[in-house]
Structure 1
């Protein structure tokens, strides 16, 4: 009874009008009423990049899933337990609330502003492009997700989930419309855009590169749509060199510093070492990127820890110092990535201007350039184990998959997508992986626990539609 009385009292206080001569008396003093669209856009860029870069085990297991990093003290997440720390909730919230929410609010603010029409259209288009990017990440992470109703927070309290295969074509249509709206002769967000500084021409390249990625993901699910989408993106112009990369440049001062720095240096933690899987593969190739990815052991060698168990920090190679710099940039798209996509597209017979070998070489060269060792790329590509014609593997999927995996060392989400699409390298789940993994590298995240609690009917329908809310269930485009 006491609780009921308190609830009624609280409700009556909420509904009682307050009298004051101050016209702002009833305003919510904790709410920011007039946040500029630019600030919201910057926040969305940072939230999205942070989530894709972060090594925090509260938000991501992908550096473990791709077997780039191994655990020292806490191995729960290295065993693919994502429920204890509610990683599915954290990832979902970072993308829906902190990224899409900020973008949507920025769009709403822009629509109330007056100003140059071309600039306003460019701003809306840039928001659309980042929203498409974010929805693509959500679909690729969970499968069926809320889409049409997702941002209608005032109209829809419990959004329905939509078929992931049906969302992808909508993303392509939406992206095409945003690209068509871009006016490269006009400004956009200016210095509030931490990725391109408001350069609309580069945003156009980024948008087409995103379209290339979405199209390629469709290759085994809808070959015709995949081919037309990839070729359309290529013909319109995609990122081909590192000067065009979509890079979020962290200033390096709190709170705008790289999440790796935040989790490893600022927190003074030694929770991670390099994984034996990536270290052994690079040792076999004498890959010079080892000196950047990892810190060498006292004898100059590189040694990786076991996947799954805990490892003694001092006994293995630590994560390289360059990645731990406070101002180390985060990437949303890069030349290495798009050239690997074009190599795969060429191998699949798509008309993208050159051969699979040509783009494979360009992708690896771009990786070396981006890590500051461009002079060593040619010798690496000349190795029989690396050269496209002689590299191990009977299919392009194995050749491209292995080198893309090595190059994507600091792009864990893109690495996970590449692994799921190409099925290479052949990663093996740790023997002590949790039962929920069912002996496999996770193929998706399970839905947030909060969705099961609050949005149960829609959560249950989606779980049934995808074949069960399980880590081993494939998203629609991951056919094999």
Structure 2
């Protein structure tokens, strides 16, 4: 056989083998897709994304509470402590820095690659429901909840990752840019407006997954508009005309009308067996602290001087901080702890009684049977706050209605709200009437005095909601608080403007972190957020 014949024969054999392989592959292709499916994978058809809403709501109420309690409530002098140098707790009492609690809200919101935090859970809902009309209401609920998550985060830190947040899985964005707070606020307001308009009571309401409102679409609409009112009012100084426009939209759309509309999430473990399922704030106040915080003298004196009926349910003296049976609610032994003291400087303070047992334990703490129940509620936004904001809007001439009526409704709502913490905390209509008679609204004509009165009451109504209390004090300027100048504090004795970014951000997300600092200002407690401007 010639060489040419051998080459031809070899090529024919190769061609035959190639053809055989192609036929085999073609025959296998029909089952290839099924063979390569993971039998344990969850498909969109099998998984109901409404389950994510339950977890997002629960985790929005648990896991971030130390930032609110240790910083927010202390900044605004609702709470105080003798802890020093930021070693233990209640660091905002002296404007000192503690890495873990300074960063807790940030970490509890964004989480890590191995954690599903509220920001990621909500993003998952939005992506999975975006193009499915069967999940319309769930999608709109998630949009509203997203503003609840991000508005408190941006209020505490300023510019934050927002538009690119939690997009690592979907768009491989692992170093999200920090967005300017103005852009974040304008987007949140637009999101609220659009989401409320698209909620539809005729469609599936996902009641089983909604631990806030049991799928009540009317309440979700009021929540969206009430949040719009809060965010709109936040701009009252930096952009008054924009603020006015959004406040008008919110009120026209329909906001909270009574305490049954309050947004609250309760703990689900009254025994304390699981800290993750208990009310985190209550856990910290009644179980988890080594150095219990006390009611600040500023807050105590305001309630006491006004003969406020809330005082009897708010304070108690515990001579043994680990034993609730040592509670004493006798008004004659109650007093608030001045902010800015430690165990050394306390003894020189006029409030200190050297003949009383202990040091801080002679001062009033939070009444745990009302405010620190492990299955008790954590308030996010309330009817009382809404009424006070409407009172301010009426004083400013932005909405119609009687500012005095809104103010009185706010006082009534704030006092009646204690019953949602515990059934025993009942303030009667007669007590409220007597309080309002003794402390009537000063009148809308006296704008400065009216705004001070309204926003001081707002401060009292947001007791233990450190995020909102701190934000509204910065926005309104009321109540007027005397700043603390404890040695080596973070502000040099100036009232704080924000918290610092987490320590690892300059390393893990350096370019975007640096851009935010360049735009916003130094990463410290003195720099103010965008909407916090002088009168």
Range class of TM-score, shorter chain: 0.7 to 0.9
Matched, 1:343 2:391: yes
1:35-434 to 2 correspondence within 5 Å? 36-50=48-62, 54=65, 56=66, 60-73=70-83, 76=86, 77=91, 78-82=93-97, 84-97=98-111, 98-110=117-129, 117=133, 119-153=134-168, 154-253=171-270, 254=274, 255-267=276-288, 269-295=290-316, 299-301=330-332, 302-310=334-342, 312-321=359-368, 322-351=370-399, 353-371=400-418, 372-375=426-429, 376-384=431-439, 386-389=440-443, 394-432=448-486, 434=488
Which residue does 1:449 correspond to in 2? Answer: 503
Mapped to 1, the partners of 2:415 and 2:68 lie a distance apart of 31
1:428-468 Cα deviation digits (max 9, x unpaired): 22231643222123111111112122111211111121121
Relative distance call for 1:389 and 1:433 in structure 2 (3 A) is: farther
SS at the partner of 1:396? Answer: helix
2:366 aligned counterpart, secondary structure: coil
Partner of 2:525: 471
Local SS of the residue matching 2:380? strand
Asked if the contact 1:196–1:247 (Cα under 8 Å) also holds between the matched residues in 2, the reply is no
Q: Could you say if the C-alpha distance between residues 88 and 270 of structure 1 is closer, same or farther in structure 2, counting changes exceeding 3 Å?
A: closer
User: How much is the aligned-residue C-alpha RMSD, in angstroms?
Assistant: 2.8
Larger Rg computed on CA atoms: 2
| Alpha carbons 2:200, 2:217 under 8 Å: kept | yes
User: Aligned pair 1:459/2:513, yes or no?
Assistant: yes
The CA distance in 1 between the partners of 2:48 and 2:488, in whole Å, is: 45
Tell me the TM-score normalized by structure 2.
Answer: 0.77
Q: Does structure 2 conserve the Cα–Cα contact (< 8 Å) formed by 1:186 and 1:200?
A: no
The DSSP-based 3-state class of the residue aligned with 1:248 is: strand
Q: Which runs of 5+ in 2 are unaligned?
A: 1-34, 112-116, 318-327, 344-358, 419-425
Question: What are the superposed Cα offsets for residues 126-168 of structure 1, whole Å, 9 maximum, x if unpaired?
Answer: 0010112222222211121112211221421211112111221
Whole-angstrom CA distance in 2 between matches of 1:390 and 1:123: 41
Taking a change above 3 Å as real, the CA distance of residues 230 and 394 of structure 1, as seen in their structure-2 partners, is closer
| Structure 2 Cα separation of the partners of residues 436 and 468 of structure 1 | 12
Please say if residues 80 and 442 of structure 1, whose CA atoms lie closer than 8 Å, have aligned partners that are also in contact: yes
Taking structure 1 as the reference length, the TM-score comes to 0.86
Separation in 1 of the partners of 2:483 and 2:244?
33
Residue matched to 2:490:
436
Partner SS for 1:449: coil
- Distance apart, 1:109 and its partner CA: 4.1
Indicate if the aligned counterparts of 1:249 and 1:328 stay in contact, CA closer than 8 A: yes
Deviation of 1:248 (Å): 1.3
Query: Per the alignment, do residues 58 and 413 of structure 1 end up closer, same or farther by CA in structure 2, a change over 3 Å counting?
Result: closer
Q: 1:257 to 1:391 in 2, by over 3 A?
A: farther
Shift of residue 241 of structure 1? 0.8
Distance in 1 (CA, whole Å) between partners of 2:202 and 2:442 is 41
Structure 1 partner of 2:12 = none
Q: How far 1:58 sits from its partner (Å)?
A: 9.5
Shift of 1:267: 3.4
Partner Cα distance (1:176, 1:58) in 2: 28
Alpha-carbon deviation of 1:50? 2.6
Cα separation, 2, equivalents of 1:156 and 1:418: 33
Structure 1 residues 214, 111: closer, same or farther in 2, change over 3 A? closer
CA distance in structure 2 between the partners assigned to 1:298 and 1:149 by the alignment:
50
Asked whether the equivalents of residues 395 and 447 of structure 2 are also in contact (C-alpha less than 8 Å), the reply is no
